Chain A
């Protein structure tokens, strides 16, 4: 089969690989009809995630058709159109039993601190991802779900990560009616978080980034106010000014490990890998939120230490909340929102790239060329 493969930092290609096999009685093999590149994939692509092996196939956002099932699979049949959450999880461990699907203990030998994620390095379990013609989907009775008849395939694709994560991020902000919510990062996750903050009754939503075209999307798609942090000497001071000196009630970090805005932090964190990532946005979040407020962290960070301003967080009495998104928990309610017309997730898709052109897709998204917000990958077999 054809599959995206990692060849080292900033280098990927499409190559011929063996088709995945059933390795467990509850596995399924899914023929991918559409996949996407996520901001998280950029952390792998840039060589930031430890134990990313040359030859790995990335891709944790995908939908497809069931091609093969293991002997114990009860809930899926061959030919079913399925959407697959980015989490690999067993459904039965201590954590899954309590709804912490992204923190499953039964799927990742390489780390106890990380659950299982498709195509997200060996640190996340060593699974191959869905930027390929076929993918192995463990625990077929637990993760995948039939795509509802009425749902657009692109909307279903967005539900497998970006939308669910943005929505989850807004929930972790514990938003009350009238709250002012700041969202750092106007990528897919930030745009969906901003849009979701309104569902929870926010009174003001402010999105911060340095890419004007994305801020434009934040205004039109997410109905948010925007700030380009490059236009302010100190964005934290601006956040205080615009909230009468109070700070915002809630801040959502939708930037993660490769934050810009401080060259030293960016180079030590993202380029030299001396930190678990550049915590510029997270530190801005801690300093912009009001005392007693909540910071919700959706941005991904590497497993080593980062220079985070923890003292400020303590002195301000902040609540810090975070996790990888337990995707499938969000679905029933998200489906209602999509069906009711509250959300049209596919509105953020900007590019469609054939699997054969995967390296161009990564370069485009990584360098933020051509007003790229969300690239969708289409395997050639479709």
Chain B
């Protein structure tokens, strides 16, 4: 009871716990805990044999946080910026620091635009996006779709209906854009 100074009595003794649980108390001494103390100055421990790493070549102008004074020596060099999403993302990096909500909200906007752009582009390839196989919904078969969900009272049942909307949304938008474009072409051809 917190209203008095007494410590609630433990339910199980250390001996009981040791008997029941493999390794109980093996790391009781903080000295055995690898994350303690948090900071330990030991540059020799990492395997690095350089004081500053060689610089990876910058094959394309690499966007970076304005909180970085210079481009770090090593970086991921995948999926370069392109299209409208690239313009949005580049602006988010060039203009706003990580401290600014605008930085992150623009990046999220860039993500949504990227998804739509990429869907549209995919329709011009031999492997267009399609929501059935890409959403993995076929895994429902054979993996207890009903039983899994009705086992107990799962909290996420309340919002599962949103997921298909998110999956189909950009696809419907892209489809709609195609229809509108086709209509425009047809109208112009007739006009």
**What is the minimal beta-carbon distance from A106 to any residue of chain B, in angstroms?**
5
Query: Once bound together, how far apart are the Cα atoms of A128 and B36, in whole Å?
Result: 31
Interface membership of A99, Cβ < 8 A: yes
Chain B minimum-CB-distance residue to A16: B127
Residues of A contacting B15 in the complex (Cβ-Cβ under 8 angstroms): none
**What is the minimal beta-carbon distance from B143 to any residue of chain A, in angstroms?**
4
Asked if residues B158 and A7 are in contact (CB atoms below 8 Å), the reply is: no
Asked if residues B65 and A341 are in contact (CB atoms below 8 Å), the reply is: no
Asked if residues A359 and B134 are in contact (CB atoms below 8 Å), the reply is: yes
Q: List 30 A-B contacts (CB under 8 A).
A: A11-B134, A13-B133, A26-B54, A47-B111, A56-B79, A88-B74, A90-B74, A92-B46, A98-B41, A99-B45, A111-B65, A111-B67, A171-B33, A172-B35, A178-B10, A199-B25, A203-B17, A204-B11, A210-B155, A210-B156, A230-B154, A243-B8, A244-B1, A246-B8, A330-B34, A333-B27, A333-B32, A333-B33, A364-B139, A367-B160
Q: Which of A44-95 contact B (CB under 8 A)?
A: 46-47, 50-57, 72, 74-75, 88-92
Q: Could you list which residues of chain A lie within 8 angstroms of chain B, going by C-beta atoms?
A: 7-13, 15, 23-26, 46-47, 50-57, 72, 74-75, 88-92, 96-101, 105-113, 116, 122-123, 125-128, 138-139, 141-142, 168, 171-172, 177-178, 198-201, 203-204, 210-213, 223, 228-231, 243-246, 260-261, 263, 266-267, 271, 273, 290, 302-305, 326, 329-334, 337, 340-343, 357-364, 367-371
Known contacts: A100-B39, A141-B49. The answer to whether A109 contacts B155 by CB under 8 A is no
Query: Once bound together, how far apart are the Cα atoms of A111 and B163, in whole Å?
Result: 29
Q: Which of B101-142 contact A (CB under 8 A)?
A: 101, 104-105, 107-108, 110-112, 114-115, 118-119, 122, 127, 129, 131, 133-140
- Checking B21, B67, B133, B163 against A223 with a beta-carbon cut-off of 8 angstroms, the contacting residue is B21
Query: Once bound together, how far apart are the Cα atoms of A56 and B76, in whole Å?
Result: 11
**What is the minimal beta-carbon distance from A368 to any residue of chain B, in angstroms?**
7
A-B contact count (CB 8 A): 319
Known contacts: A200-B33, A370-B143. The answer to whether A109 contacts B77 by CB under 8 A is no
- Checking A24, A97, A128, A304 against B41 with a beta-carbon cut-off of 8 angstroms, the contacting residue is A97
Q: Sort chain B's interface into a size bin.
A: 35 or more
Asked if residues B67 and A329 are in contact (CB atoms below 8 Å), the reply is: no
- Checking B26, B75, B133 against A125 with a beta-carbon cut-off of 8 angstroms, the contacting residue is B75
Asked if residues A113 and B98 are in contact (CB atoms below 8 Å), the reply is: yes
Interface membership of B43, Cβ < 8 A: yes
* Chain A interface mostly: loop
Asked if residues A53 and B114 are in contact (CB atoms below 8 Å), the reply is: yes
Chain A minimum-CB-distance residue to B140: A369
Chain B minimum-CB-distance residue to A120: B76
Asked if residues A369 and B10 are in contact (CB atoms below 8 Å), the reply is: no
Query: Once bound together, how far apart are the Cα atoms of A304 and B104, in whole Å?
Result: 7
Known contacts: A50-B108, A106-B53. The answer to whether A326 contacts B139 by CB under 8 A is no
Query: Once bound together, how far apart are the Cα atoms of A15 and B93, in whole Å?
Result: 29
Interface membership of B23, Cβ < 8 A: yes
